[in-house]
Amino acid sequence: MANPVLVEVTRGPLVESRHRGAVAVVDAEGGAVLTLGDVDEPVFPRSAVKALQALPLIHSGAADRFGLTDAEIALAVSSHSGEPAHVEAAAAMLRKAGCDEPCLECGAHWPMDAAATRALAAAGGRPTALHNNCSGKHAGFVCLACDLGEDPAGYAKPEHRVQQAVRASLEDLTGASHTPDVRGVDGCSIPTYAVPLPSLAYGFAKFGAGVGISPACADAAGRIRRAAAAHPFMVAGTGRFDTRLMEALGERAFMKTGAEGVYCAALPEAGLGLALKCDDGAGRAAEAVLAALILRYLDLDGDQRAAVEAMARPRLENWNGIPVGEIRPTLPKAGAR
């Protein structure tokens, strides 16, 4: 059975492309609120779980001992665009731990933001690991390693104490086993573990509601949510979906994109966690589905509703600015179980 079509992309009078996928919406007691498609198949959450991966940095006290700011904590859960403010914040985090850019094990790439790449090239610069979209997360790992008294070298490997702490946090929140048979290597070289969508949604429901986890972990989750809401630019960057959505909604929603069409989100006031995967890995579709789910589960009005509606159904324009079509979510109303 194929997963349902969640998004259509139109051109002129016709549907040009379609995206299928699966969705799980779960409450903080683990109850299924919405289930679309095959949610039993394990999904690599990739960067969508950076907030859960960052919990040990906070609840261990490492972030406080190194004096990390809220902007830096937001960067630690980001997939940032490599703009100057991101690069500077990642470097500042490393300095606080007494380290520098060569400590980072994420690899270098040109900034995700096209204008930042052009500016760097125009200045005669070259990208470093600080420009990697995961450098904030990695800087957090370096801080955690140093706080634990461990050599940061090798912190990206599954057997390093940092990744053991990260894995324990993921298992604690999601309730799912994170074992070598479901382990892949992520773009930034840390392990990524595939788990079913309801486990991810459950983890984010707990992350948002602060229940079903230790008080220290709940405090850490709240701090991350508030830091991201206060610094949405640090979580992504100029024009990016997560940044715009958190600018519109503030603390009402925490969401994080992951590569290959994944989204995880927490809606604290609704007591819900959301996880979705587009089968084909398309980010444009994952964004539209996430916005449609937020419209369904948050009671929005005025500017907030208008902003999220526009993000759920973006108009497509060509190089001359001529409207050519739109992206529109088509997720079924039914599917709860």
User: Which residues here bind its own copies, judged by CB under 8 A?
Assistant: 2, 9, 11-14, 16-20, 42, 44, 105-110, 114, 117-119, 121-122, 124, 132, 181-189, 192, 194, 260-261, 278-282, 285, 318-322, 324-325
Q: Which is nearer to its own copies, 17 or 238 (CB)?
A: 17
CB-based contact 265:246 (threshold 8 Å): no
Q: How far is the CB of 38 from its own copies (least distance, A)?
A: 11
Q: Which tokens hold the place of 94?
A: 């490393």
Could you tell me the CA-to-CA distances from 36 to 2, 8, 25, 88, 234 in Å, in that order?
11, 16, 9, 41, 32
Q: Terminus-to-terminus CA distance in the chain, angstroms?
A: 18
Q: Which is nearer to its own copies, 324 or 334 (CB)?
A: 324
Question: CB of 271: closest distance to its own copies in angstroms?
Answer: 30
Shortest Cβ 87–its own copies spacing (Å):
16
Supply the minimum distance, in Å, between the C-beta of residue 99 and its own copies: 18
Q: Which is nearer to its own copies, 110 or 148 (CB)?
A: 110
Q: How far is the CB of 234 from its own copies (least distance, A)?
A: 21
Contacts by 288-291, CB closer than 8 A, 24 or more apart = 288/6, 288/7, 288/312, 288/313, 288/314, 288/327, 288/328, 288/329, 289/6, 289/7, 289/21, 289/23, 289/263, 289/329, 289/331, 290/245, 290/255, 290/263, 290/265, 291/245, 291/329
Q: What is the DSSP string of 3-60?
A: PPEEEEEEETTEEEEEEEEEEEEEETT--EEEEES--SS-B--GGGGHHHHTHHHHHT
Q: Which is nearer to its own copies, 108 or 307 (CB)?
A: 108
Q: Which is nearer to its own copies, 138 or 225 (CB)?
A: 138
Give the nearer residue to its own copies in terms of CB position, either 13 or 102.
13
